[in-house]
Structure formats: C-alpha cells, structure tokens
Amino acid sequence: MALLSAALAGVIFGFGLLLSGMANPGKVQGFLDLAGAWDPSLAMVMIGAIAVGLVGFGIAKRQAHSLLKLPMELPAATQIDRKLLTGSALFGIGWGLAGICPGPGLVTMAMGIPQAIVFVVAMLAGMQLLRFIQK
C-alpha cells in the first residue's frame, strides 16, 4: 500500500508539473526573466500548490502517524545557516541557467529529451560529488 500511494503521488506530481508549465524550461525562464516579457504563470503554480499543501501539512503536523501507520517524518531543522543559504544560492543559479529543477528534469528525461538526460546525469553526479566532499 505504501509503495502504491508513493507511486500514485509521483504520477500526480508529474501531471501537475506537465499541466502547470513547470516541465517547460522556456516557460520557467520566462518567469525568472523579470526584465523581459514576464510570464507570471509560475506564481500561480506556487499559489495552487501551497493552497492545497497548507491543508495537507496542517493536518499532518497534528498527527504522530500517517494514515498507513507509518511515522510522520516532518523535517525538524529550523536553523538558517550558511549551508542552507549557499546551497540554495547555487541551486537558484543552476535553475536559472537551464530553467529546470529536479522534478521537471526527471519528467522531461522520461520524455526522451537528450538535454534533459544530460541534466539529470549531471545532477546525480553533483549530488554524489557533494557526498564525496562532505566525507
């Protein structure tokens, strides 16, 4: 059951990325380009996602266990430190350069787009590189 619900969540997440325009790097860059012809669509994606998420996480916060009796693993970290800020700054640079973040990278890779495959492979390498540096 837990695997089925996770897979279904993955499918719905992907549908959301496709429908919203997040899986189109050109559209993402249109949002990030404040000085050009600005496409506000991504702001609507955030509003739609957070409006629903507020309800979901609002309920989740008050539960010790999930509906499938699994532990509720909400992040515990609250500190705003240099790691968080440096990492996020780097992430934003990469996101701006290509117009792709991890979710849309996976979805467009599955669509067979060669540049997306390069992106995902490099992203996995970047993740492993960090693990290596931190050891």
Least distance to another protein, CB of residue 132, Å:
11
Closest by Cα among 100, 99, 87 to 127: 87
Distances (CA, A) of 75 to 20, 28, 110: 27, 27, 29
Least distance to another protein, CB of residue 41, Å:
4
Pick the closer one to another protein by CB: 11 or 135: 11
Task: Please say whether the beta carbons of 26 and 116 come within 8 A.
Answer: no
Closest by Cα among 30, 14, 19 to 106: 14
Site size for another protein (CB under 8 A): 117
Residues 94-113 touching another protein, rule: CB under 8 A, are 94-98, 100-103, 105-111, 113
Crossing angle (nearest 10°) for helices 25-32 and 41-60 = 100
Could you report how far apart the first and last alpha carbons of the chain are, in Å? 36
Least distance to another protein, CB of residue 82, Å:
10
Least distance to another protein, CB of residue 44, Å:
4
Q: Is 135 in the site for another protein (CB under 8 A)?
A: no
- Residue 67 in tokens: 């509906």
Residues 20-79 touching another protein, rule: CB under 8 A, are 20-27, 29-30, 32-42, 44-57, 59-61, 63, 65-68, 70-75, 77-79
Least distance to another protein, CB of residue 76, Å:
10
Pick the closer one to another protein by CB: 71 or 135: 71
